[in-house]
Structure formats: structure tokens, C-alpha cells
Structure 1
Amino acid sequence: MNSSADTSKIPVKNIYYMLAYAWDHPHESRMIDVYGEDEKDIINLLSKILILKVRSLIKRGFYREYTPVREESGVIRGKVLFKESFEKFSYKKGKMHIKHEEFTDDILHNQLIKATLLRLSMYEHLEKEYYEDLKRMLMYFRSISRIELKPKFFNQVTLHRNNQHYRFILNICQFISENVLLHEGSGESAFNDFSRDHMKMARLFENFVKNFYRREHPESNARSETLDWGAIGEKNEYLPLMHTDISMIVENQKYIIDTKFYQHGLLEFKGKEIIRSGHLYQLYAYLENDRRKRNGDKAVGILLYPRVYQSFHFNYEIQGFHMKICSVDLAENWRDIERRLKGILSKADALNINN
């Protein structure tokens, strides 16, 4: 994974589809019709989707959990805290300090959603209709405590079978928490343009491609893989780790895919365009170490770039390894992007080395 592509040509709706795959919720890209939408930015599009999802959540009912409560009460329930009760002379008031559990919807899951809706309501470029929807929706969160929206809180949320329907909503909330920044003291927030952050877009591109193939080929076990250098020496800990972006097996053929997020996939050298040598060396190192690990079985190597200024698809046989250097146009219709990614793995293409 590398970064420096111009992302200005990628439609907002295509960024959303990539996010849906990267979050491992590709079905959400099909359930919500965003074709024909022309939102001003990804935050407005995600606001629309979040409103639809939270509206459905309200109809279903908020998820509740038992949470510990400590209080001074005249009604004895749960565990009596004698030490606190005597230290604070609660017994003189006919009360005791107690500890018990309360079944409540005022939990972190719902608090984060409320905090996100509040943050969006302060976004200065939010469409008016979404602002009005948020105001009405917040009325259902009156019993939910208000917390500060911090990305670290999302790591504290526990998701399981009974609350899996919160996962996609919280993915959207986390994205918003990381990209809609509150102006101190102004009561307004602005969008930190995610699409112009090349490192974030490079990670998104890698995770999108990985989860796309994982969904299209469930048996492939598409994943990042650590390869061994096979080095012998006293200071092997100084060697860098060798991680593939994507390793997978489809129809008994292993593929190693390295995603590169560059404005120009090809490099201009002495008046002509050539493949970037560093990328080719890196892919060859993956293939050679994988061959040694698998006792001679050879993977197909793919360098995959987003198309910006040129499209290309090259096939080579290099040192006995089949390598492909390809681009995918992220500005195309989404169905064309899907067909392109599927076609890259076609066996007919793999046999057509000379084209």
C-alpha cells in the first residue's frame, strides 16, 4: 500500500461504497439507493444514511444492558455498602448506600450515536433537511446521557449477536467523529476532507479491495499475510516485517495483491512511461519468499493502482512468476468497478501473457 493519488475525480457515492466494503458491510451499499445522489461531500451522504439507519433503530427499540449503579436509597436492593453507609451516616436518614444493576438504554452504544447526531447538527455545510431530521431524531435520545465524541470511545464498545445491528451505525459514527472537527468556542464544526487525506484513502483502497475479494470468493481467505525472509544471522530483529496487502487462494491458485495509491501508476523515465521498479521488486520479493515457504508452488502477483490519468493492464512472466500490473477506474459506475476487479482474476487473462 502506497499513497499519492489525486482523489478529486472519485465520486462521493463511490467513496461510500468503498467504505461499506472496508467496514465489511457491502450489503448496506445495496440496501440504500445512493445512485443518482449528488451530495456535496461524504459527510452529507453519510448523514442521510445515518438518519435512515437510526430511524430504523428507533422503531426497533434501543439496545439495553445491565449497568452497575451506586446510590443512597431508602429502598434496599442489590448489595448494601455498609462502610459507605456508616461513614456518611446514611442510617440516620433512614437510608443506606447500595450497589445494584439497572437495565437501561443509557449505555455507550447509544451515547455515541447521540454525540454523533449532535456533532452533525453543528456541521456548517449540512443540508437543511438533514439538520431538521437530526433535531427531531434527538428528541428520542433525551434519556441518553451526553458525552464528548472521542474516537477512542469506539474501541470500548462491545458488539455481539444481540446488538450486531449497531455495528454499521457505529462505523458511520466513528468515521464522522474522526473527520468532522468541532471549532473551539464557535459552536460549529467543519469537515476534515477525508478524500484528500492520501494515507487514509490508501488504507481505504486496500481494505476495500481485500473485503471485495473476501465477499466475492468466501473460500479464498483473503487477508494480509506475514512472510518470512528466511534470513540467518545474529540480529534478525532488525529486519523489517514483510506483510502482503492481500493474499488469497481462488480455485487452487494463490494470488498476492499489492495495492498502490498513486496519482501516476506509471513513472516517466527518459521520455517514456515505465513500471515503478521499487513496486516490481517488492512484489517479486513477496512471490519468491512465498514460493520458498510453499515448497516451489508459485503465486500470481498483482500490482493494483487506482486509475487517475491512465488505464493499463500488463501481463508478464518474470523469473517463472506470472505478474499483472493493473489499474481500476474508481470514477466509473460502481458495477463497472466490480466487473473490473472480478476480471483481474480471470484465468483467461492469466493465460494471455502477450497482451
Structure 2
Amino acid sequence: MSERIPIKNIYYMLCYAWDRLNEKDIILVDNTEGNNLLDLFARVMVNGLNYLIKRGLDRRYLCVNDDISFIRGKIDFNNSIKTLQWVNGRMSCEYDDLSHNVLHNQIIKTTIEQLIKHKGLSDELKDGLLNLYKYFRYIDTIKLNKKVFKEVQINRNNQYYDFLLKVCETIYDNLLIDENTGQSKFKEFERDPKQMAYLFENFVRNFYKRELKGCKVYRENINWDTDDDNTFNEYLPQMQTDISIETDSKKIIIDTKFYKDTFTYYMDSKKLISSNLYQIFAYIKNIEAKGGLNTNAEGILLYPMVNQQIDYDYLIQGHKIMIRTVDLNQEWRLIHKRLIDIIIDREN
């Protein structure tokens, strides 16, 4: 892409990709200055936590072992005798205590600390985070890793945490901390092709799930249409679509590609990327064996726009294959319209 994607568009893409579109208005991204993603995430944390604190931080019963002057829960006689606590009129007890010191609050507190320490964060956002930090004073900080985020238990009563934890995980993935100096550097993931390819795919799929009414949108495994039940079929690579869409009259398979350019170049020749065409053609040819709408499935290769909008149509062995681009640098309503038109135009 010739320009950086505006942060408000990155934010909307993330909300779709995370399937948390209801929370996208947590901040007014149209009023967010600059193009600093870390400032954006910090602002989301500030606004989101203000809302969370008004609702009340989540808490659960935790097992506590403590030496106390009154009997509570279950007495630990062995430890009480070993430590001679009874001499001082105290006993070791094990009991359940309703506490805010749960994993999801620990993740949020640790993330707040990391953001506050980051030198590149604006003073306004640091002050906002420091003001929120006091509500977490009785909560432990922890060492973050990918496993920790997977261990959080989200339910109907605390589902609002899911959005903030996804923001925390994105910050963790991209905030590089020097363990010797404690200094941090934010790796802006819109410059990371792998992260952006993953985001682009999930954004487009969930966008169509929400915005295409009356259509079935999903990922789909496709078997190779071999001539026999060969025992060696297990060694064939798996084919899985990025997006499969079923309307009343059509089957459309979309393969998203997040590349810096839609073409390859050799001398004065400009060509579409052959491997992408082979991939989408393999999908629509092998899916014919399922019958029904699959017999005449259409394929779309969807790229972010680089220098010009592309609308190429081909008819290859009875199947329509389309090359489309979407400009991620334009106003969001135009992105919305473009993605809808790519599918709706196929129905007209």
C-alpha cells in the first residue's frame, strides 16, 4: 500500500475481526489525532476501563491460607502447631474469599503498567491510565505470555472483558520490552505483512457474516476430487477457504491476499500472481464434486488496493474468477460500500 492505513480503519477492522463490533464506539476514533496505534490502544483501554469500573470489576471466590485471630473456614492444625501461631492467639485457616485478584484483572493491571512505562505515550493518556491504576491496587501483576491469555474464562457475566483482553493481547504481541533496561518499543503491526494478512482475512470474513443478511458465511474444507479412494489421499495438502459465501443462487469462494502489490513484474511485463490464481482455481474445481451450488462456484481474489482499483473478470473452464481490490485508506463508509458491492454485484 502506498500510504499507511488510518488508525480508525485499523480499529474498525480489529472490531470486526474480533467479532466485537458492539464495542467499536467505545471511543470516537474520528477525533483521534495522528496515526499512532499505541495511543489508539491506550485510549481504548482508558475509555473501556472507565466503563468497566462503573459496572464493577469482576471478582470470584479464591482459596486463601492465612494466620488469623478468629476461626474462619477450615483450620490447618498442622501448620498452626508447626509455626506456633496458637501461642499468639492465632490459627492458620483456609477459607474462600471473594476477591478482585483474578487473572483477567491481573492481565489488565500488568498491561496498564507497561503502557505507563512506555516513553512514547502521550502525557494525557498516561495521566488517564495512572488515574485508573488505583482501582487495581489490590490486584497482582503477573508475567504475561500467550498461554495466560488463553487461560482466562469468559462467561455471560464478564463477557465485556473479552474486548479489553483482546486489546491487551494485541499490545502484548507488539510491545517489545527490554528486560535489562525496562524500556519498551511498540512494533506497529500494520507494517507486519503476516499480522496484517491475518487481520485482513478475519476482518473480511466477519464483515460478511454481519453485513450480508440471509447469506451463509464460513470457512470450508475442500477435498481433492480424486478418481479413486486412494489410501495415499491422506498425504494431499488440505484445502481450506478463507471465506465461503452461499446465497440463494450462488456459491462464492473468497481468498484474501494482503500484499504490497497485486502484480508481479518482469522486464516490461505485468502479470497477476500465478500462485494465487492456481489456488483459487483449485478450490472451485475440486468443490464441484459436492454438487448443488458448488457446481458453478465463483472465485474472488481480494487484495487491498495499491495504486488503482482493480475489477477484472475471467471465465475459466466454466467458472467465473474475479480479481478485486478494496482501498483501506478511504473513509470507512466507502470501504463498507465497496465490500458489499463486490458480492451484491454478483447477484445482479
Q: Deviations over 1:91-134 (max 9, x none)?
A: 55554443221111111111111111110011121111111111
Q: Secondary structure at the match of 1:162?
A: coil
Indicate the residue corresponding to 2:312 in structure 1: 314
Equivalent in the alignment of 1:341: 339
Displacement, 1:180? 1.2
Gaps in structure 1 of 5+ consecutive residues = 1-5
* 1:59 matches 2:59: no
Alignment check: 8 A CA contact 2:74 2:94 kept: yes
Match of 2:300 in 1: 302
Matched, 1:251 2:248: yes
Q: Hey, what's the Cα distance between the residues in 1 that align with 2:25 and 2:297? A: 33
Note if 1:279 corresponds to 2:276: yes
| 2:30 is aligned with 1:35 | yes
Residue 177 of structure 1, CA deviation: 1.1
The match for 1:169 is 164
Residue aligned with 1:247, SS: strand
In 2, distance between residues paired with 1:89 and 1:238?
Answer: 67
Question: TM-score, normalised on structure 1?
Answer: 0.90
Q: Is the 8 A contact 1:7 1:195 kept in 2?
A: no
Structure 1 CA distance, aligned partners of 2:259 and 2:167?
26
| Between 320-329 and 85-94, the greater mean CA deviation after superposition | 85-94
Deviation at 1:182, TM superposition (A): 1.5
- Give aligned-pair identity as a percent: 39
- In structure 1, the residue matched to 2:179 is 184
Output the amino acid matched with 1:337. I
Q: Is the 8 A contact 1:259 1:305 kept in 2?
A: yes
User: Which residue does the alignment assign to 1:3?
Assistant: none
Aligned partner of 2:125 in structure 1 is: 130
Report the aligned-residue RMSD.
2.2
Q: For 2:173 and 2:234, how far apart are their aligned partners in 1?
A: 34
Distance (Å, rounded) in 1 between the aligned partners of 2:338 and 2:34: 25
Deviation readout 1:149-174 (Å, 9 max, x if unpaired): 33321111000100011111111111
Q: Which residue of 1 aligns with 2:144?
A: 149
- 3-state SS of 2:157 partner: helix
**Relative to 1, partners in 2 of residues 1:86 and 1:31: Cα closer, same or farther, differing over 3 Å?**
closer
Question: Deviation at 1:89?
Answer: 5.4
Corresponding residue SS for 2:114: helix
- In the alignment, the residues of structure 2 paired with residue 79 and residue 335 of structure 1 have an alpha-carbon distance, to the nearest angstrom, of 61
Q: Which has the higher contact order (CA 8 A, sep 6+)?
A: 1
Q: Please give the alpha-carbon distance, in whole angstroms, between the structure 2 residues aligned to 1:17 and 1:49.
A: 12
Name the SS of the counterpart of 1:35 in structure 2: helix
Task: Report the Cα distance in structure 2 between the residues aligned to 1:56 and 1:167, rounded to whole angstroms.
Answer: 14
Secondary structure in structure 2 of the residue aligned to 1:256? strand
In 2, the alpha carbon distance for the partners of 1:248 and 1:66 equals 45
For the 8 Å contact 2:103–2:152, the answer to whether it is kept is yes
Find the aligned partners of 2:339 and 2:9 in 1 and give their Cα distance: 14
| Corresponding residue of 1:325 | 323
1:242-265 Cα distance to aligned partner (Å, 9 max, x none):
111111223342221100111111
In structure 2, the residue matched to 1:100 is: 95
